[in-house]
Amino acid sequence: MVDELFMNAVRYGSTENKSSVYITFEYDEDEAQFTIEDDGTGPNAIPADKLRGIIQKNEENKDLTRTSGRGLSMITKVWTDQMTIAESEHGGIAISIKKKVDAFSAPPPPMPPTGLLKQAVERAEATPPAMVQPEREPIAAKPIQGMPLYEVKLSGEIDQSNIEEVVAPIHDQVGAMPLNSVLALDFSDVSYINSTFIGNLASWYTAMHKKGGRVILKGVKKNISEVLELVGLLNVIELTK
């Protein structure tokens, strides 16, 4: 829920290299509350009352997959016990979501990191705090020399409303692919991806790597490549035009 709201604040209410997004978390034994605020400088920013109207209209629409603002409407209807939208003191919109806690118990002990996360933690621990790491260029795709190639064309916005129908056939494709093959995902018509898709992308890379294969992303737009770089995937996944 927080991820969806954060991405909306970045995408609609913020300006690159200028804005800040503010996240507040409060909780007790009965409920948890998150508040996400932006400064309203984005070119697509709208006032709080207009956003409330959009969400109310979409809540009355049974087919949320075909409406604008569907992500927030689905959060309201499915995932929260309460949502409030108000003007933020920072100049944009403040969205607060509440979720009641049915049973309070101590959290489980943290799981030790594995895979790519473990490697990243080990690298961080081995790096002296004062050392400044140079920026790494995304990996460029190498020539495909006789490797079976399977290409999947993606398009539009990939968010919580359509994530299952997008990732399911790719999951099946990855599972059925032979050893030493290449999965190429064409992003040239993709304008947005959420964190759930990013998690699946990391999973596909791991599965293909175990098979001796590769994952290549084609035609990735700047806004998406910046997100993938931020989470570290461009250190392992190849890009091509």
CATH number of 2-100: 3.30.565.10
Q: Give the model's pLDDT for residue 36.
A: 92
Choose between 190 and 1: higher pLDDT: 190
Which tokens go with 62? 């049974």
The tens digit of pLDDT for each residue in 117-131 reads 566 556 655 654 444
Residue 114: the pLDDT is 61
What is the assigned CATH class of domain 136-240? alpha beta
Asked if 205 contacts 171 with a C-beta cutoff of 8 angstroms, the reply is: no
Written in H, E and C, the secondary structure of the chain is CHHHHHHHHHHHHCCCCCCCCEEEEEECCCEEEEEEECCCCCCCCCCHHHHHHHHHHHHCCCCHHHCCCHHHHHHHHHHCCEEEEEECCCCCEEEEEEEECCCCCCCCCCCCCCHHHHHHHHHHHHCCCCCCCCCCCCCECCCCCCCCEEEEEEEEEECCCCHHHHHHHHHHHHHHCCCCCEEEEEEEEEEEECHHHHHHHHHHHHHHHHCCCEEEEECCCHHHHHHHHHCCHHHCCEEEC
Lowest-pLDDT range of 5-19, 72-86, 224-238:
72-86
Boundaries of every domain in the chain: 2-100, 136-240
pLDDT at 189 over 90: yes
Give the model's confidence band at 153: pLDDT under 50 very low, under 70 low, under 90 confident, else very high: very high
Which token pair is 162?
Answer: 């359509």
- 131: tokens are 């050392």
Report the chain's mean pLDDT, rounded to a whole number. Answer: 79
pLDDT in the model for residue 136 = 41
Mean pLDDT of 166-184: 90
Topology agreement, domain 2-100 and domain 136-240? no
Quick one: pLDDT at residue 183? 92
Query: Does the pLDDT value for residue 112 go beyond 70?
Result: no
pLDDT of 143:
57
Instruction: Give 73-104 pLDDT, tens digit per residue.
Output: 666 666 788 888 899 999 999 999 898 877 55
